[in-house]
Structure 1
Amino acid sequence: MRRRVLPGLTLSLGITLLYVGLIVALPLGALIFKAASLGPEDYWRIISSGRALASYRVTVLSAAAATVFNLVFGLALAWVLVRYSFPGKRLVDAIVDLPFALPTAVAGIALTTLFAPNGWFGSWLSEAGIRVAYTPLGIMIAMAFTSLPFIVRTVQPVLEDLDPALEEAAQSLGGSDVAIFRKVILPLLVPALLAGVSLAFARSLGEFGAIIFIAGNQPFETEITALLAFIRLEEYDYQAAAAIASVLLITAFAMLAVTNFLQARALRYTARS
């Protein structure tokens, strides 16, 4: 009889469902229930107010810009970590996970210190007429910092598992390095890139601690949606806070659903190829 490390299916499934119910489903259910307690007119009035719409614009555009930056930089970083050896490689590899371990509020304070007009980087940028702290650019940098590991860590294992024979075969057929990357390597990375992009974008949408210090939090200019929901909580307007938070929740779920669909199509295309 084959021994199993974990207990039987019934017990394992029960523990898993209990954990998911308490940690994931219960808080989300409470949020949805609180938002649903509003009537359709009140709900629409809250989520379509001018201040809320401005916060959506700031949040989504900043998250999209940070995700695009991380898509390029994260892919390049994963490629360097996998394909090259250099002094300090282990240190760089460990630093990639720093946003996971570092409290986001600490990250926000550190970024503000660096990019403030009198900061190390901010003073140089100010001389060039570029403001970072207390602008949408600062929000993008904070989002990029906290979401970068999602792309690197989803792409890195796939690069490590790629069969070198595929590249060698393409080289033997006279393919250039650019053509090999575009036609051989990139299609195999697409599912992992889509997973990393969706996770990075969803993390950026909900980021709070790393942003509030560097954003300036000016309504209609640098106020993110998560902060607006927090302000409504401080005003004891729990229904409005739940309604605004539900917009982020719906957006994140929609993003994940679209990404899963695109991943499935990419995997089918790769299998046929």
Structure 2
Amino acid sequence: MELTLKKRKRNTIIPGFSLTLGYTMLYLSIIVLLPLSMIFFNTFSMSWSEFFETISHPRAVASYRLTLSTALAAGLMNVVFGTIIAWVLVRYQFPGKRIVDGLVDLPFALPTAVAGIALATLYAPNGWIGQFFDFKIAYTPLGIIIALTFIGLPFVVRTVQPVLQNLGIEIEEASASLGANRLQTFFKVIFPELIPAVITGFSLAFARALGEYGSVVFIAGNMPMETEITPLIIMTKLEQYDYAGATAIATVMLVASFIFLLIINIIQWYTNRKFNQF
């Protein structure tokens, strides 16, 4: 027993751990914690009644609901289509594959305002795509979901793709040789290995969608109580020099984002622990 404890202690001692841990905490404090703390600091200038009145205003509550629902919908869509795209890029060879692979990263490089203008032009009632539908796409929550799906797609593809590359086609061939059909091979052999990567990609896409502004503001229409997202309300208050009100709403989104990401990380930890046991 004593030997096991010593061995475990010895295996956890990494050369330079104290130095790297100190640098990590210092870096995170300066880059992440200090800016976030200023949000709470500015909020403290308000009384509790003013704070509650600001964050519970019907216009703000409607924006919370819209932002969270569209971010969730876009994240789930990216999970489905991002996994399919990653599968195609890994498992199949076709002309122009390198070009398609490069296009996946385009939302990373494209300025969000340019993406928003392009999407609004495409899906407007008289746009290249919007003119063929009897219902409106742009200036509706559906348009917001499309914009958030566009900017979040690379997160899922790039997290699932390396896992599929490590899984090799030999696993599928072995499963087939043991009598499993295609659905059984996918859901019982491949999908369990993809779950941690899929959850990671979803959490990244969801977090990006919660704070997205540039690509959404052009296609949303920004109608209060209907298509007005929370980041737009924050920007509006900043333009009105209402810094306390802006930080109050930002605090709500920050806390909500932290709770959602914490839940996602707990689910990811549980799935990793479950599948690593086998």
What SS does the aligned partner of 1:120 have?
Answer: coil
Question: Structure 1, residues 97-133: CA drift from partner, whole Å, max 9, x if none?
Answer: 11111111111011111111221112222xxx12111
Alignment partner of 1:40 out of 27, 39, 48: 48
1:96 paired residue number:
104
Q: Percent identity?
A: 55
Q: Distance in 2 between matches of 1:84 and 1:238?
A: 52
TM-score if structure 1 supplies the norm length? 0.91
Q: Distance in 2 between matches of 1:19 and 1:141?
A: 35
Q: Distance in 2 between matches of 1:187 and 1:202?
A: 23
- The equivalences for 1:6-21 within 5 A come to 12-13=20-21, 15-21=23-29
What SS does the aligned partner of 2:49 have?
Answer: helix
Aligned-pair distance for 1:188? Answer: 0.8
Aligned-pair distance for 1:19? Answer: 3.3
What SS does the aligned partner of 2:129 have?
Answer: helix
- The equivalences for 1:165-176 within 5 A come to 165-176=170-181
2:248 paired residue number:
243
Alpha-carbon spacing, 1:90–1:163, altered in 2? closer, same or farther (3 Å): closer
Q: Distance in 2 between matches of 1:32 and 1:108?
A: 31
- The equivalences for 1:22-171 within 5 A come to 22-125=30-133, 129-171=134-176
1:210 paired residue number:
215
Equivalences, count: 264
1:3 paired residue number:
none
Aligned residue identity for 2:266: F
TM-score if structure 2 supplies the norm length? 0.90
2:3 paired residue number:
none
Aligned residue identity for 2:118: A
Aligned-pair distance for 1:9? Answer: 5.6
Gaps in structure 2 of 5+ consecutive residues: 1-14
Q: Distance in 2 between matches of 1:124 and 1:219?
A: 27
Alignment partner of 2:228 out of 223, 226, 233: 223
Q: Distance in 2 between matches of 1:218 and 1:62?
A: 15
Gaps in structure 1 of 5+ consecutive residues: 1-6
Q: Distance in 2 between matches of 1:262 and 1:173?
A: 31
Q: Distance in 2 between matches of 1:39 and 1:148?
A: 41
What SS does the aligned partner of 2:95 have?
Answer: coil
Alignment partner of 1:184 out of 184, 189, 203: 189
Q: Distance in 1 between matches of 2:265 and 2:59?
A: 32
